[in-house]
Amino acid sequence: MAVTIYGLGCKSTKKAKQWMINNQIPFVERDIKKDPLTVPELQDILRLTMEGTDDIIAKRSSHYQKVEVDFDDLSLVELLEMIQEQPKFLKSPIIVDRNKLQVGYNADEIRQFLPRKTRKFQLLNWTQDLKPIEW
């Protein structure tokens, strides 16, 4: 299954796309401003999170700060419907495949999308490049 990058066209989304291209990982890009996530798609993403909606909502964004809604008072469905209507509430990018999730661009964490053999090969080459410590 290909990797999907859900993004808002921000710098982090562009970095993630370039990383995928540089590492020859097939991906599908989706601009969530033009094509917002549906409630079932958001539920699928939440299934992969550790902290639920806290992992995907951009609470420090100006868009979030301007809204006069207490998100804690909303049901999950109400919150997901609100996110569907206002995709700027989401962090960007959200990168997923069948069972992996990364929210935001992180150069170390994005490596999880490399095939296992590639990660193992890179790790072996990296450890061979280490020089022994001389005391």
Following DSSP, what letter does each residue of 85-104 receive, concatenated? H-GGGB-S-EEE-SS-EEES
- Is the pLDDT at 132 greater than 70? The verdict is no
Question: Which member of 6, 7, 10, 13 is catalytic?
Answer: 10
pLDDT score for 61: 86
How confident is the model over 12-66, as pLDDT tens digits? 999 999 999 999 999 999 999 999 999 999 999 999 999 999 999 999 888 888 8
Q: Give the orientation angle of helix 76-85 with respect to helix 39-47, to 10 degrees.
A: 120
Q: How confident is the model at residue 119 (pLDDT cuts 50, 70, 90)?
A: low
Active site residue 10: yes
pLDDT score for 131: 53
Q: Give 72 or 55, the one with higher predicted confidence.
A: 55
Percent of the chain predicted with pLDDT > 70: 86
pLDDT score for 114: 87
Domain boundaries, the chain: 3-129
Q: Give 29 or 124, the one with higher predicted confidence.
A: 29
Contact predicate 125/133, CB 8 Å: no
Q: How far is 48 from 31, CA to CA, in rounded Å?
A: 20
For the whole model, what pTM was predicted?
A: 0.83
Q: How confident is the model at residue 113 (pLDDT cuts 50, 70, 90)?
A: very high
Candidate CATH numbers 3.40.50.300, 3.40.50.720, 3.40.30.10, 3.40.50.2300; the one for domain 3-129: 3.40.30.10
